[in-house]
Amino acid sequence: MRNIKLTVEYDGTSYSGWQRQPGLPTVQGELEKALLRISGHSVDLMAAGRTDAGVHALGQVCNFRITTRLTPPEIARIANQLLPGDIRVVKAIGAPDAFHATYHAASKIYRYVIRTASEKSVFDRLYHHSLKRARPLDLAAMRRAALRLKGTHDFRSFQGQTIYKRDPVRTILGVKVVRKGPEVHLEFHGKSFLYQMVRILAGTLIYVGLGKIKPDDIPVILAAKDRRKAGPTLPPGGLFLVKVFYPKDAGKSRRVSKIEEGIE
């Protein structure tokens, strides 16, 4: 059986997250149904990250094994004919036999989109978080706070429900705060993330921008290891999985990441 690597984009609004769940619409479930029709046998998709309900992706990566004479581009073309309009295979390529989209992922970039303008459109309300009132955010303060989030820390204060018993230590490689017209984009580059971690980080940076939290409070919040000390958990609609990075030799050896994958 051949190993195929897919890059997928999706609008997560109508789905109960990436991961297959009995009786619920999921992105993984829709993709696997399409691949079943293509191959004639069931496939098990492995993804770089299990996005939560309502979260979107511009560059989700997954892999699967298939028995077919179709080329990867042909698989992508046919899959897109079978998939609903809010899921699309952007790219399909052959992968080394040992490649695993989850365990070989070196890091990911997530983007959270905030709208600060007073004008609100019904057409894009599901793809950003609008402040209740049009208020300017102190981007300089948010950038100072972002610098304090970089590095390896115990992020327990920025973790959602703790039913996922995982090591709370994570490494943030970078955080960008960028103004894009009426929007502010928060980009988080990390090796892996805890449950709802990005949405809580984004909520905390908004509080910094509104003056409710000071940049110098970030180390104190980290040290507290207490979810109540950080900012709010923002809604899922503003969150996008933008890109997943892999080592050049991913799958050419059996070496894989030991990072435990959470749900975002």
pLDDT digits (tens, 9 = 90+) for 156-184: 999 997 665 679 999 999 999 999 988 99
pLDDT of residue 262: 55
- pLDDT category of residue 122 using cuts at 50, 70 and 90: confident
Is 131 found in the same domain as 48? no
pLDDT of residue 259: 47
Average pLDDT value for residue range 9-18 = 97
Is 127 found in the same domain as 68? no
Token readout for 15 is 């789905």
Is 158 found in the same domain as 41? no
- Which residue, 160, 156, 157, 158, is CA-closest to 169? 156
pLDDT value at 151 more than 50 = yes
- DSSP-derived 3-state class of residue 12: helix
Counting residues of the chain whose pLDDT is more than 90, the rounded percentage is 82
> Mean pLDDT over all residues of the chain?
92
pLDDT value at 118 more than 90 = no
Is 164 found in the same domain as 79? no
Q: With respect to residue 71, please indicate whether it lies within any of the assigned structural domains.
A: yes
- pLDDT category of residue 134 using cuts at 50, 70 and 90: low
Alpha-carbon distance 90 to 112, whole Å?
A: 21
Q: With respect to residue 157, please indicate whether it lies within any of the assigned structural domains.
A: yes
Is 237 found in the same domain as 123? yes
Average pLDDT value for residue range 131-136 = 74
Token readout for 151 is 């590095």
**Phi–psi pair at 245, nearest 5 degrees:** -105, 140
pLDDT of residue 164: 58
Is 119 found in the same domain as 215? yes
- Residue that the structure tokens 């989209």 belong to: 101
Is 118 found in the same domain as 237? yes
pLDDT of residue 166: 77
Domains: count for the chain: 2
- DSSP-derived 3-state class of residue 236: helix
Domain with 73 in it: what CATH number? Answer: 3.30.70.580
Is 145 found in the same domain as 43? no
List pLDDT tens digits, range 183-211.
Answer: 999 999 999 999 999 999 999 999 999 99
pLDDT of residue 66: 94
Q: Report H helices in the chain.
A: 27-39, 72-82, 139-149, 197-209, 218-224
Average pLDDT value for residue range 137-148 = 97
Q: With respect to residue 252, please indicate whether it lies within any of the assigned structural domains.
A: no
Q: With respect to residue 256, please indicate whether it lies within any of the assigned structural domains.
A: no
pLDDT value at 49 more than 80 = yes
pLDDT of residue 255: 52
pLDDT value at 40 more than 60 = yes
pLDDT value at 260 more than 60 = no
pLDDT of residue 120: 72
Q: pTM score, two decimals?
A: 0.93
Is 116 found in the same domain as 88? no
Q: With respect to residue 166, please indicate whether it lies within any of the assigned structural domains.
A: yes
Is 235 found in the same domain as 147? yes
Is 229 found in the same domain as 137? yes
- Residue that the structure tokens 């110098």 belong to: 216
Q: With respect to residue 203, please indicate whether it lies within any of the assigned structural domains.
A: yes
How far is the CA of 140 from the CAs of 212, 231, 245, in angstroms?
A: 14, 18, 28
DSSP E strands: which ranges in the chain?
2-10, 46-47, 56-66, 87-94, 107-115, 129-130, 151-154, 169-180, 183-190, 239-245
If one counts every other C-beta atom within 10 angstroms of the C-beta of residue 211, the result is: 11
Is 132 found in the same domain as 96? no
Amino acid at 220: V
Strand partners, 88: 9
How far is the CA of 141 from the CAs of 56, 136, 200, 216, in angstroms?
A: 28, 12, 17, 10
Alpha-carbon distance 233 to 34, whole Å?
A: 34
**Phi–psi pair at 175, nearest 5 degrees:** -135, 125
**Which amino acids are annotated catalytic?**
52
Q: With respect to residue 262, please indicate whether it lies within any of the assigned structural domains.
A: no
pLDDT of residue 251: 72
Domain with 194 in it: what CATH number? Answer: 3.30.70.660
For residue 63, give its domain range: 2-104
Q: With respect to residue 263, please indicate whether it lies within any of the assigned structural domains.
A: no
